[in-house]
Structure 1
Amino acid sequence: MTAQPPRFDITPAQIDQVVTKFYAKVRTDPVIGPVFAAHVPADGWPEHEEKIARFWRNAILRERSYDGNPMQKHMAARDVKGEHFPHWLYLFDTTLAAELPRDTARAFSALAHRIARGLRMGVEDLRAPANAPPSL
């Protein structure tokens, strides 16, 4: 049995670089920086970045090296709001554009936007009144 091919052409080192550069921006960002700081201790960034890099390597390269549950984490973080996701994506997209070849950045961005849509819907639905229709 052969492993599934990567979703698009990118190396593990490029994924690691994107994650490192992105979280450098996050730590100083006035919108989402405080949200992350509430959940990642000052000395916990290397561990967090490695975990997120494993998430992306699993999602893109199909490494099977990540075992977390992003939906559960985002829904449990009561300070994560639906309106944070567009800003997160803006920072992520600018990082991708600066660090990767254009076609790779575009493919990575499309995957990130798809994942973010699902996370945002989960966060918004969890906080909606019980009789409210689901956000689509």
Structure 2
Amino acid sequence: MGSKPCLYPDPTYRPLETSWDSDEDTPVPRCGHTLTAVATTKTHGARLIFFGGATASSIRLPRANDSVHFYDVLSRKRIRLHQSGDTPSPRAAHSAAAAGTMVVFQGLGPRYGHVMDLVAQRYLVTVIGNDGECNL
């Protein structure tokens, strides 16, 4: 006896307007960046962190950047963060994962196409990309 496939309709999407308070908060057009969701805490709602990326057509890092932006889902505002401590180097085609409220970045240099995820809220699993040419 055959079973019927369970079909679900596509969700309905709608555009959301975002804003920022200063020109410094405006992200530049880029490719090869990461976007990572960070969990809600007692003091902050849901947030998205986006980092790095190349501003040229090649991801061989001729114009990679190290800017980190924070997007608050509730207020719909983007803010450029200025991290303290060791600043991540400019990069593109890297990966990121959230471990609680901490975002971990990995990748740079002769390799690209990394993937990373937190498994069972305990193990950070990273798969290193390859070192060949990237044809986007």
With the shorter chain as reference, the TM-score category is under 0.3
Q: TM-score, length-normalised on structure 2? A: 0.25
Whose Rg is larger?
Answer: 2
Of structures 1 and 2, the one with the larger relative CO (CA 8 A, separation 6+) is: 1
Q: TM-score, length-normalised on structure 1? A: 0.25
Structure with greater helix share of residues: 1
Structure with greater strand share of residues: 2
